[in-house]
A = this chain, B = another copy of it.
Amino acid sequence: MRVVLVAGTTATAKIPEISAAGADPTLVGHTPSADAEIIEYGDTVRSPVTPVSPTGCPTPAAITRAVRELTGFDVLTVDAGLAKPTAAPTIDVGARPGRDIREPEPVPTAPGAFEAARRMGLALPEDELVIGETVPGGTTTALAVFRALGETFPVSSSLPSNPTSLKEDVVAEALESAGLSPGDAAHKPKLATRYVGDPVLPVVAGLTVGALESGSDVTLGGGTQLLAASALARHAGAAGDLTLATTSYLADDVPELESAAAELDVDLVVTDPGFETTPLDRYAAGEAKEGAGMGGALMLADRMGVVDDVEAATLDVLSRLDPQAVDGVEDGP
């Protein structure tokens, strides 16, 4: 059992009001590097900040780490375009940070990284992979990828109020600058991610395709970004059992998730961490409702019978992190 964290960046996250993954826009590039460190070490090491949302909700990586401490799963972090140093050990698939999707070719490394990730997915010895992501701005790029593939699914947000019309405007600009109409990239996952995606999506999709080819079970642990990765894998022609494991917060936010998963022949597993009445209720309030493998980790916690211990373990992880992050949870807005 191994959890693979695919971590990268896209300059799309720098568009004002688009992402909650960082206390302010200048820190957002550090979030994936810090998330990887928190899951690997239980603390930041090289990263200068603990990722929190603008209102102080800490990164879901703290929950993934808490589940790791409870269950002992192995981790593999894939550098899918990190922009800042990380002390977490990573594998290289040739990905580079993504540019703003309103530019003509934001992810030139997408085709190569998809193939390198596919070979890695084929070669990994595990029978079961759980794949998560951390890429600020990733729901906007996921929306663009859905449209390029000709899919009409919606995306979620790490903000309490989803800036839907802003995302639709950005996606329309992205498709125009790429010279693509909706559906033009159907069955062409490398094309979709190269011209309107982020560097994380082709890596998740490539790993998924390779692992399914090798007969492994694949669970994508996340929300609508990993629904987009599922769509990319299916558009690449991958058959085989595929599961999307997400949180109840995300599933409540996106009622269309169930039908979308069914349409892609993806099993949906929804886990409720039961944070509503605890100091962690900011997650339930609609911030940071998914990400950094949280939904996949919660599925593993549930399977191993420790989901009721996740709350205490998360508070323990947060007590070791930057005090600012803990204050954000405990004091409320």
Contact = CB atoms under 8 A, between A and B. Distances in A.
Interface of A: 41-43, 45-46, 72, 76-77, 86-91, 120, 123-126
Contact of A87 (B41, B87, B120): B120
A87 B123 contact: yes
Query: Which one of A76, A77, A89, A123 has the highest number of Cβ atoms from chain B below 10 Å of its Cβ?
Result: A89
A89 B89 contact: yes
Contact of A125 (B45, B72, B91): B45
A91 B125 CA distance: 22
B91 A77 contact: no
A41 B125 contact: yes
**So how many copies of this chain end up in the complex?**
2
A89 to B, nearest CB: 4
| Interface majority SS (helix, strand, loop, mixed), chain A | loop
A89 B77 contact: yes
A91 B82 CA distance: 13
B90 A88 contact: no
Contacts of A46: 120, 123
A71 to B, nearest CB: 12
In the A-B complex, the 3 residue pairs with the closest CB atoms: A89-B89, A45-B123, A43-B125
Contacts of A123: 45-46, 87
26 contacts: A41-B124, A41-B125, A41-B126, A42-B125, A43-B125, A45-B120, A45-B123, A45-B124, A45-B125, A46-B120, A46-B123, A72-B72, A76-B89, A77-B89, A86-B91, A87-B91, A87-B120, A87-B123, A87-B124, A88-B89, A88-B91, A89-B89, A89-B90, A89-B91, A90-B90, A90-B91
Contacts of A124: 41, 45, 87
Contacts of A89: 76-77, 88-91
Contacts of A88: 89, 91
A316 to B, nearest CB: 14
A120 B41 CA distance: 13
A86 B89 CA distance: 12
A205 to B, nearest CB: 19
A123 B41 CA distance: 11
A140 to B, nearest CB: 28
Nearest to A79: B89
Contacts of A126: 41
Contacts of A91: 86-90
Contacts of A76: 89
Nearest to A320: B125
A158 to B, nearest CB: 26
A123 B87 CA distance: 9
A32 to B, nearest CB: 14
A41 B89 CA distance: 14
Contacts of A86: 91
A42 B125 CA distance: 8
A125 B86 CA distance: 14
Nearest to A36: B89
A90 B120 CA distance: 15
Contacts of A90: 89-91
Given A45-B124, A45-B125, A90-B91, 11 more contacts: A41-B124, A41-B125, A43-B125, A45-B120, A45-B123, A72-B72, A77-B89, A87-B91, A87-B120, A87-B123, A90-B90
